[in-house]
């Protein structure tokens, strides 16, 4: 199946509105909701098939006009089923942010099942004064079934460009059967990788607060060149990751 979801946000009477929506199942968007304030529109991203099966491809295209303020919320984790026929599942996200636009993409979660193959490519083109917040958790598989890095391949790629300047170019390419995933320089005994990208020139975080490490949870922060922060987690404590991500989501 090839899902498609195109969203276009614009300003009308000082308010962000969802101007155009085009979708092709299994992808669909909720109506625009004004949760906290009339300034910010929240849209839930829905996937009706329950997951990606070998060969499936979902493509998102999101456009924000000047000064719009949008939160996108994937309703469920992306489950990637085995690549029985050898064809991988793919997800493509393309985002265009105009001047002073702000986009928050809440917690993208990827669960690659045993023997699955997944490739996701997310590209953001933004302006110097637009803002972009992205959260992602990569699971090692279906933990309750004891799946830990038993997928065939999982490759996620995030690129953020500001005109000709590259702000983020982060690939995570796992092919566990060929890699030394258990080494402490890679995953060690941790199972989850989580990333919070805060691409915002103005933002200031308490860096020491986001640097701690224990046997089952590690978090560190780094400043990106002139562009904000990356906070990265290696952890076995999923509720704690989510809790700390929520705190970061409030951009404190």
Partner 1 sequence: MRKQKEGSQSHLSTEGINTKFLYLMHIHDSAFPIGTYTHSFGMETFIQNELIRTKEDLFHFCQMYLHENVAYTDGIFVKEAYQQEKLAELIRLEKICDASKNAEETRDASSMIGKQFVKAVLPVSETPSLEEWYQLLQDKKVTAHFPIVYSLYAKDLAFDLYTTVLTFLYSSTVGLVHNAVRAIPLGQKAGIEVIHRLIPEMEKATITVLERDLTDLSNHAVGLELASMQHKYLRSRLFIS
Which residues sit at the interface with partner 1, rule CB under 8 A?
155, 157, 160, 164-174, 179-180, 183-188, 190, 193, 208, 211, 213, 218, 220-225, 230, 232, 234
**Nearest Cα to Cα of residue 232 among 242, 218, 246, 243:** 218
Q: How far is the CB of 124 from partner 1 (least distance, A)?
A: 12
Q: Which is nearer to partner 1, 75 or 222 (CB)?
A: 222
Please report which helix (H) or strand (E) contains residue 248, including its range.
helix 238-249
Q: How far is the CB of 8 from partner 1 (least distance, A)?
A: 28
Q: How far is the CB of 251 from partner 1 (least distance, A)?
A: 19
Q: Which is nearer to partner 1, 7 or 167 (CB)?
A: 167
Q: How far is the CB of 190 from partner 1 (least distance, A)?
A: 8
Q: Which is nearer to partner 1, 81 or 190 (CB)?
A: 190
Q: Which is nearer to partner 1, 26 or 88 (CB)?
A: 88
* Long-range CB contacts (within 8 A, 24+) of 161-167: 161/123, 161/124, 161/125, 161/126, 162/125, 162/126, 162/127, 162/128, 162/227, 163/127, 163/128, 167/126, 167/199, 167/224, 167/225, 167/226, 167/227
């Amino acid at each position: 199946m090839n899902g498609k979801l195109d969203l276009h946000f614009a300003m009308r009477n000082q308010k962000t509105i969802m101007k155009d929506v085009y979708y092709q199942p299994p992808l669909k968007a909720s109506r625009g909701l004004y949760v906290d304030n009339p300034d910010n529109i929240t849209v839930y991203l829905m996937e009706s098939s329950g997951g990606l099966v070998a060969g499936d491809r979902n493509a998102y295209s999101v456009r924000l006009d000047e000064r719009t303020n949008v939160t996108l919320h994937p309703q469920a984790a992306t489950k990637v089923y085995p690549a029985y026929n050898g064809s991988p599942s793919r997800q493509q996200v393309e985002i265009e942010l105009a001047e002073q636009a702000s986009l928050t993409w809440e917690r993208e979660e990827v669960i690659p099942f045993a023997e699955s193959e997944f490739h996701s490519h997310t590209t953001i083109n933004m302006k110097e004064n637009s803002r972009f917040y992205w959260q992602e958790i990569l699971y090692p598989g279906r933990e309750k079934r004891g799946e830990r890095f038993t997928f065939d391949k999982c490759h996620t790629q995030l690129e953020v460009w500001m005109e000709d300047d590259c702000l983020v170019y982060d690939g995570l390419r796992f092919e566990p059967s060929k890699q030394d995933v258990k080494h402490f320089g890679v995953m060690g005994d941790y199972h989850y990788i989580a990333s919070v990208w805060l691409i915002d020139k103005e933002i200031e975080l308490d860096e020491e607060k986001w640097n701690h490490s224990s046997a089952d949870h590690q978090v560190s922060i780094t400043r990106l060149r002139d562009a904000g922060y990356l906070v990265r987690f290696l952890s076995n404590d999923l509720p704690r990751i989510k809790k700390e991500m929520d705190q970061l989501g409030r951009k404190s």
